[in-house]
Structure 1
Amino acid sequence: MTIKNTTITKGFIISGLMNASVLIFSRLFTNSTIAEFDPNVMSNFGLLMILIWGLAYISVAKSYDKVKWLVGIFAIEKLIYGCVWIHWILNNNISEVYEKDLMAGVFYSIYGINDWVFFIFFIVVFLRLSKLKDNG
């Protein structure tokens, strides 16, 4: 399977925009329900850091091929958030979040799926870059 460079660039931009969606779900960091249900990871500071990671993805969208190891770090970061989400889903009642706030409920329902999708994306890009470097 060959992925075009333009498709990969779009993937980095989409990943960044998905992270930036925390601005919507958190209502510009005013939605206290998100932090209430996971104060260690999803505090306003944690949400701000998610936004910063998103900006990092966008910043390398057109030069990702020059930062293979950073792409690998992006994959690790997504793996960590994906695992944290699975742990959260297994140990919490999502309906309680929905009862308190619809936007927070939607956020907790989808953020981990997003992280797993982009973990796979970043791993595929990292492996592609590793193969290119080995053959080049």
Structure 2
Amino acid sequence: MKLSKEVIKKGMYLSGISNIAGVLVFSRFFTNKTINETDPVTMSNFGLLMIAVWGLVFLAVAKKWENLRWVIGVFVIEKFIYGLTWTKWILNNDLSSVYKKDTMAGIFYTIYGPNDWLFCVFYLCVFINLSTLEKKNR
């Protein structure tokens, strides 16, 4: 899928903002213990902080993405890992019990996986576009 430069830049900003705002809002600035307890390995406060840091990286790259094909490739891998982690979690856990404990945590666990899968596909499209462009310029 061919994406315009402006769509790619806006997508990267949206990706970064969703990582940062999603973590800060739904974790209530790292005070929502239900998120931590529900998946203590991936969603510890350290894990949540690293998700926000990835958001900062997405924002930092948004203006220079055209020269960073392999960095975009890393973004595909990062989003794939989080998407796969969520998929495994959702298949083996009861989301309704999370909602019963804390609605914000329930919403977080409802949306974080689809969000990561969406941006995995987005970054894959950007990576493919850059790879195609590089082959044409040889």
TM-score range for the pair, normalised by the shorter chain length: over 0.9
Extract structure 1 runs of 4+ deviating beyond 6 A: none
1:2 and 1:127 mapped to 2: Cα distance? 9
Distance in 2 (alpha carbons) for counterparts of 1:4 and 1:73? 21
2:51 matched to 1:50? yes
- Distance in 1, matches of 2:48 and 2:106, equals 15
Shift of the alpha carbon at 1:11? 0.3
Name the structure 2 match of 1:6: 6
- 2: CA distance, partners of 1:2 / 1:97: 39
Distance 2:82 2:31 in 1: 22
Unpaired runs of 5+ residues, structure 1, are none
Given residue 30 of structure 1, which amino acid in structure 2 is its aligned partner?
A: T
Paired residue for 1:80? 81
Contact kept? 2:35, 2:43, Cα under 8 Å: yes
CA RMSD, Structure 1 to Structure 2 (Å): 0.7
Q: Distance in 2 between matches of 1:115 and 1:47?
A: 14
Q: Distance in 2 between matches of 1:47 and 1:95?
A: 22
Deviation at residue 3 of structure 1 after TM alignment:
1.6
> Aligned pair count?
136
Residue 29 of structure 1, CA deviation: 0.3
- Please report the TM-score for the alignment, with normalisation by the length of structure 2: 0.97
TM-score by length of 1: 0.98
SS in 1 for 2:104: helix
CA distance in 1, matches of 2:48, 2:77: 18
Which residue identity lines up with residue 44 of structure 1 in the other structure?
A: N
Q: CA deviation at 1:2?
A: 3.0
Alpha-carbon contact 2:2-2:125 (below 8 Å) kept: no
Q: Deviations over 1:54-109 (max 9, x none)?
A: 11011010110111000000000000000000000011000110000000000001
Distance 1:107 1:59 in 2: 24
Provide the C-alpha distance between the structure 1 equivalents of 2:84 and 2:3, rounded to a whole number of angstroms. 27
CA apart distance, 1:24: 0.2
